[in-house]
Amino acid sequence: EAGVAQSPRYKIIEKRQSVAFWCNPISGHATLYWYQQILGQGPKLLIQFQNNGVVDDSQLPKDRFSAERLKGVDSTLKIQPAKLEDSAVYLCASSLDHYERPEQYFGPGTRLTVT
Amino acid sequence: AQSVSQHNHHVILSEAASLELGCNYSYGGTVNLFWYVQYPGQHLQLLLKYFSGDPLVKGIKGFEAEFIKSKFSFNLRKPSVQWSDTAEYFCAALSYNTDKLIFGTGTRLQVFP
């Protein structure tokens, strides 16, 4: 079974530039999550989708971050414009169903450096 | 605010030593509990999980964890560590109230041969 795929693996941008990350979850997984992991901390949930609908985006900085999951499969997370404090690893995870089978499986992450 | 605490930030052991990593959560009510492991250069992997039933759960690679409701704890144990257990370990809790998976800050384990 293929795992969660993410690209790119690394990205370096200057502040005020924009960046986009892509995630393809495990086939058949209804729930998709984006996390931000700052160095020395645990992952923090940014947004959660159930199929193609947003379930929770309460911790997403909506003035600069956006995410979509068209067709209920893969997803993109965008930052525009980026700030220095956005430097982090962005993790995508998926679960079969958040309410019935909530164990989450993570992708390799995208390491973002904002200079 | 609801939180997960891992009090050991960095643990150094010799091979064959026993391991116990602490995890405490602040939620009341029903929780699902997880331990994830991140080996160097790899992604987060699920080590074990607790949903209900027997409070002693066994995971992969000889790890186990015990859920003690009265102590709000879910400590990870392994009787004899190996060099290949060198990794970062994250405890996480999913509360039915918040419906979010909250992670601790992680414990970095180094095992020397």
CB atoms within 10 A of CB A71: 9
The type of residue at A76 is: T
Per-residue pLDDT in tens (0 to 9) along chain A, 115 residues: 689 999 999 999 999 999 999 999 999 999 999 999 999 899 999 999 999 899 999 999 999 999 999 888 999 999 999 999 999 999 999 999 888 888 999 999 999 999 9
A33 membership: H or E segment, kind and range: strand A31-37
Q: Which of A3, A42, A56 sits opposite B90 (nearest CB)?
A: A42
pLDDT digits (tens, 9 = 90+) for B69-81: 999 999 999 999 9
| Burial of A73: CB neighbours in 10 Å, binned 0-12, 13-18, 19+ | middle
B60 touching A, CB under 8 A?
A: no
Asked if B32 lies within 8 A of A102 by C-beta distance, the reply is: yes
Chain A CB contacts of B100 below 8 Å = 45, 48, 56
Asked if B103 lies within 8 A of A44 by C-beta distance, the reply is: yes
Chain A CB contacts of B90 below 8 Å = 42-43
Asked if A107 lies within 8 A of B101 by C-beta distance, the reply is: no
Cα–Cα dist A72/A58, whole Å: 20
- The beta-strand segments (E) located in B1-113 are 4-5, 10-14, 19-21, 24-25, 31-38, 45-50, 56-58, 64-68, 73-78, 87-95, 101-103, 107-112
Cα–Cα dist B48/B25, whole Å: 16
Residue A1: per-residue pLDDT: 65
Q: Quick check: B17 and B81 in contact, CB under 8 A? A: yes
Chain A CB contacts of B99 below 8 Å = 56, 98
